[in-house]
Amino acid sequence: MIADQLPALQIVIPMLAAPLCVLIRRSFVCWCIAVLANVLVLATSWAIFKQVQSEGVIRYALGGWAAPTGIEYYIDSMNAIMLLLVSFISCVVVVYAHETVRKSVQTGKHYLFYAAWMLCLTGLLGISITGDAFNVFVFLEISSLSMYMLIAFGSDRRALSASFRYLIMGSIGASFILIGIGFLYAATGALNMVDIASRIPDAQSQRAVLVAFSFLTIGLMIKSAVFPLHGWLANAYQHAPIAVTAFLAGTATKVSLYVLLRFFFSIFGTNYSFGGMLLNVVLLPAAVAGFVLMSLVAIFQSDLRRMLAYSSVAQIGYIIAAFCLASQAGLTAGIVHIINHGIIKTALFMSVGCIIYRVGHAHSDSLDNLFKKMPFTVCAFIFSGLGLIGVPLTAGFISKFSLISASMERGWWMIGVLVLLSSLFAIVYVGRVVEIMLFRKARTDNPQPTGLREAPLLMLVPMYVLLAVSVWVGISGSATLSVASDAAAALLGGYQ
């Protein structure tokens, strides 16, 4: 019985944990509930992943109402990957969060923090699992609203204005998506994704489909922070509590990218999006400008969180560029990079979080010779930084290599060159910080607090778990590639 109910459990468990946290209110108990729920969710998503691999697409009718009438959960290999990624990252970060939250959030509000976290997880998993276009909007708003709340927990007052700005941008993005879905419904009379996809070929000539397409493009670009529309991202990443930043960086934009994939490839179809609408004419320049310019901007940031935030926008540029190739190889590269970047960036933010936990801030000028004091944290930063650059044998190398070879395959060699250029910038901004942390002599007017020690074990262990996974991904290589190419084939093939 339980095997049939797995898709429902995926949503029910975190959603159940949220009100329990609100009821119980004891800080430590709430954290235990959150971790327990997260472990269960991770186990569920692993089981779903295995089930999808062996048996193919899972369709789960909510309330027993079959697909066109009711809402269904539709899980193919792409959804399974997203579920696994989101629940894994959330699980690792929520364990890590305990120490940082205890330090930076008022004790009386811890239960709200974990409740909001669980709701956010519900929303993100819901987006990745649902097969209903309107349901995507609802889950998107559940995750976004709780994310605004989580960001506002930041200890600096600038967290509030960052959160407000994210709220305005995010609501505009979500409203655009809502308009797009509305026009799709008007043109096709369906909300189920499979249904819409099957009716799009007949409705293609209608102007409503064109309007829907444009609104969805803009809305999803805002939500996934594609280059010119990334304004909300840097402040939100910098001022949110660091555990939230790690969670946000690893999951929220990735899930929005998944929605973008789902709409452009499965629902509108590759031919319509990239053949008829020339989406790559719009997206590709934005993506390329994004990864070149944002890597350049990242070099000049003194705050590590802000630097990594701009680097995130650059990485999203890579992913979008890979999608624009609209080929099996390109899509595979994009999906692999979603996975790898999610893991690497989360690990990086976690190591920065350890630094903030001990040093109190993350300005790069006051981290002189930090390696002496916090060797494990600095090691983690260096290894995940190497992954970000794309050094061979790391996870980042695999995704960058497959991106470059995919663009060569299409004959767009300029993209390959620009990716290499942007990787050079990445060497500069990561290398600069590493140089300070390893080699620069501690100054006499050292602003570091006295008695600086290594971060607590409860923060180091989850970070190293994440790091181990990224190393495993980097060395085995073919495992993620084959999974991603399955997903790419499923997306390009459309719904059966």
| Nearer residue to other proteins within complex by CB, 23 or 408 | 23
Q: For residues 84 and 167, which CB has a smaller minimum distance to other proteins in the complex?
A: 167
Among 23, 36, 408, 457, contact with other proteins (rule: CB under 8 A): 23
Radius of gyration of the chain (CA): 22
Number of Cβ atoms within 10 Å of the Cβ of 108 = 9
Q: Is 297 in the site for other proteins (CB under 8 A)?
A: no
Output 230 or 400, the one with its CB closest to other proteins.
230
* Binding to other proteins in span 31-60, by CB under 8 A: 60
Shorter beta-carbon distance to other proteins: residue 18 or 459: 18
15 belongs to the binding site for other proteins (CB under 8 A):
yes
The stretch among 12-20, 293-301, 381-389, 435-443 that binds other proteins (CB under 8 A) is 12-20
Out of 35, 43, 47, 186, which residue is the one contacting other proteins (CB under 8 A)? 186
Buried (b) or exposed (e) across 448-463, using 16+ Cβ within 10 A?
beeeeeebbeebbebb
Q: To the nearest whole angstrom, how small is the minimum distance from the Cβ of residue 149 to other proteins?
A: 7
Applying CB under 8 A, which part among 6-14, 28-36, 192-200, 221-229 lies near other proteins? 6-14
Report the alpha-carbon distance of residue 475 to residue 425 in Å, rounded: 24
* Closer of 303 and 454 to other proteins (Cβ): 303
- In the bound state with other proteins, the residue whose beta carbon lies nearer, of 51 and 171, is 171
Q: Which is nearer to other proteins, 145 or 225 (CB)?
A: 145
Cβ proximity to other proteins, 48 vs 437, nearer residue: 48
- Position among 3, 54, 55, 64 found at the interface with other proteins (CB under 8 A): 64
Please pick, from the candidates 39, 47, 179, 442, the single residue that binds other proteins as defined by CB under 8 A: 179
Nearer to other proteins, 64 or 411 (CB): 64
Nearer to other proteins by Cβ, of 302 and 482: the residue is 302
Q: How far apart are CA 50 and CA 44, in angstroms?
A: 10
The nearest distance, CB 202 to other proteins, in angstroms, is: 19
At closest approach, how far in Å is the CB of 182 from other proteins? Answer: 5
Q: Kindly determine how many residues on this chain lie close enough to bind other proteins according to the rule CB under 8 A.
A: 43
CB 13, min distance to other proteins, A? 10
- Binding of other proteins by 61 (CB under 8 A): yes
> Angle at which helices 133-152 and 253-261 pack, to 10 degrees?
170
**Which tokens belong to 357?**
């936990």
Give me the least distance between CB of 150 and other proteins, in Å please: 11
Residue nearer to other proteins on the CB measure, 156 or 454: 156
Strands 58-61 and 72-75: antiparallel
Per-residue binding letters, 242-261, with other proteins (x by CB under 8 A): --------------------
Residue 98 CB contacts under 8 Å (≥ 6 apart), including other chains: 31, 458
d(CA 220, CA 261): 10
Does residue 178 interact with other proteins by CB under 8 A?
A: yes
- Look up tokens 């390893």; give the residue: 438
369 neighbors 321 (Cβ within 8 angstroms): no
CA dihedral 139→141→146→149, nearest 10 degrees, is 170
Taking contact as CB under 8 A, which single stretch among the options 20-28, 256-264, 347-355, 424-432 is the one that binds other proteins?
20-28
Question: For other proteins, what does the binding mask look like between residues 132 and 171, x meaning CB under 8 A?
Answer: --x--xx--x---x--xx--x----xx-xx-xx--xx--x
Question: Would you count residue 8 as binding other proteins (CB under 8 A)?
Answer: yes
Concatenate the DSSP letters of all residues of 34-83 into one string. HHHHHHHHHHHHHHHHHHHHHH--EEEEGGG--TTTS-EEEE-HHHHHHH
CA distances from 486 to 9, 83, 333 (A): 25, 15, 12
Q: Left (φ > 0), alpha (ψ -120 to 50) or beta: where does 75 sit?
A: beta
Angstrom distance (rounded) from CA 391 to CA 389: 6
Cα distance between residue 81 and residue 83, in whole Å: 5
The partner residues of 74 in beta bridges, in order of sequence, read: 59
- 192: helix, strand or coil: strand
In single-letter form, the type of residue at position 135 comes to N
Question: For residue 474, what are its two tokens?
Answer: 């980097």
Residue ranges in contact with other proteins by CB under 8 A = 1, 4-5, 8, 11-12, 15-16, 18-20, 22-23, 60-64, 134, 137-138, 141, 145, 148-149, 152, 157-158, 160-161, 163-164, 167-168, 171-172, 175, 178-179, 182, 185-186, 191
